[in-house]
Amino acid sequence: GAVVSQHPSWVICKSGTSVKIECRSLDFQATTMFWYRQFPKQSLMLMATSNEGSKATYEQGVEKDKFLINHASLTLSTLTVTSAHPEDSSFYICSARGRESREQYFGPGTRLTVT
């Protein structure tokens, strides 16, 4: 149980374009989803938290107009990187937590490369 998927697993896009990453909880209802960013050999940096049906809460320093998060249902959250630039290249990982759970279960991650 507690499986989280992400799509795509990797994506290459050109500078100035937008990219959407999907995160799905496959076997449980995720009342809260989290989006993290991870640079090589570094730990996870929380970007934003979203509750189903509510606006996302962004961490300090994360541009909400650049990283659009939608948590439309109890099993799906999306992260859209708008007007991507090479510095946005990174490993993006989502996680999900059920209503009564304390644990976060992570997706496999999405490698974004902006050329």
Binding site for another protein (CB under 8 A): 2, 4, 6, 34, 42-44, 46, 49, 91, 93, 95, 102-109, 111
Count the alpha carbons within 13 Å of 95 in the hemisphere toward its beta carbon.
16
Whether the link from the prior residue into 40 is cis, omega within 30° of 0, is no
Return the number of the residue (45 or 82) whose C-beta is nearest another protein.
45
Q: Which of 17, 55 has the CB closer to another protein? A: 55
User: What is the distance between the alpha carbons of residues 50 and 66, in angstroms, rounded to a whole number?
Assistant: 16
Minimal distance, residue 109 CB to another protein, in Å: 5
- CB of residue 41 to another protein, shortest distance in Å: 8
What is d(CA 5, CA 24) in angstroms, rounded to the nearest whole number? 5
Residue closer to another protein (CB basis): 40 or 86: 40
Using DSSP's 3-state secondary structure scheme, residue 86 falls into helix
Which residue number, 15 or 54, has a Cβ lying nearer to another protein? 54
CA-CA distance, 36 to 38, in Å (whole number)? 7
* Nearest distance from C-beta of residue 91 to another protein, angstroms: 8
